[in-house]
Amino acid sequence: MALSGIAIVLAAAAAGAAGWLIGSLHAARGTAPPVLFDAPHYQGLINQNGLKVASTRFDGKVQVVTFLFPYCNTFCPVIAAHLVGFENMLAATPLADRVDVVAFDVDPGGTGPRQMRAFLDEYGWNPANPHWQYLTGTPAQIRSVVTAGFHVDYQKVKDSDSAAASGPSTAALAVAGSDPQPIVANPLADKAHVDYDITHEDVMMIVDPEGHVRRIYDQADAVGKARLLADIRAVLGSAH
């Protein structure tokens, strides 16, 4: 039986609670992070509601950028649940309309807006809310933006076990050098029973209102919301 949306969010939060709490207690303070590189420009990508989105949509806003696989049952659900919590906190601040979450679908060949909407809904976000844009496109478009533009690699890996049984993907668990990964219920994945996994880097980024990448977190599932908010405030304080 599929878990309810609330149960899923609780499961996701519990899976990454330790890292999330540690990140929250060590909120970044002080000077703004430096410019690292320019975020890619793009047009013609499609969001979770089937609407076209260009990078110019985010001009003048801070973007919290992440990379998600709709059938994931490890880090992606944890990241999504944490970002929902961050957005809910942000909604009560004056920064609510100055920050958007922008996620890129790293399985453009196998999933699309329908799966992206279902994924967001499972982990507590209303897909109609414009402050979260989950974007996809052709495989070539997403490869250009994600790998060439944001320097985040991903690959499709055959996983014979995932088609036969639910549970953690063997490909996901075999990523070289990775820490033990949380296992989080994902009814969308259980229903699809795909025979592959998408391995990708567990990263999150902050892009400033001028389109510069200012912060890269290499453990996206463990970034505390207090640290994230502090870094965003620092970036906004330095924007010109």
Structure tokens at 229: 């908010």
In angstroms, the CA 109 to CA 198 distance is: 11
Q: Which residues pair with 144 in a beta bridge?
A: none
Average pLDDT over the chain, rounded to an integer: 83
Residue 15, CB-side half-sphere exposure with 13 Å CA sphere: 24
Q: What are phi and psi of 62, to 5 degrees?
A: -80, 135
The full set of domain ranges for the chain reads: 5-238
The Cβ-side half-sphere exposure at 185, using a 13 Å CA radius, reads: 16
Specify the pTM. Answer: 0.81
Per-residue pLDDT tens over the stretch 14-55? 444 433 333 333 333 457 899 999 999 999 999 999 999 999
Helix axes of 113-122 and 5-15: crossing angle, nearest 10 degrees: 80
Residue 155 has pLDDT above 90, yes or no: yes
Neighbouring CB atoms inside 10 A of 233's CB total: 16
> Three-state SS for 130?
coil
Q: Which CATH architecture has domain 5-238?
A: 3-Layer(aba) Sandwich (3.40)
The Cα 27–Cα 66 span in angstroms is 19
Burial class (CB in 10 A: 0-12, 13-18, 19+), 189: buried
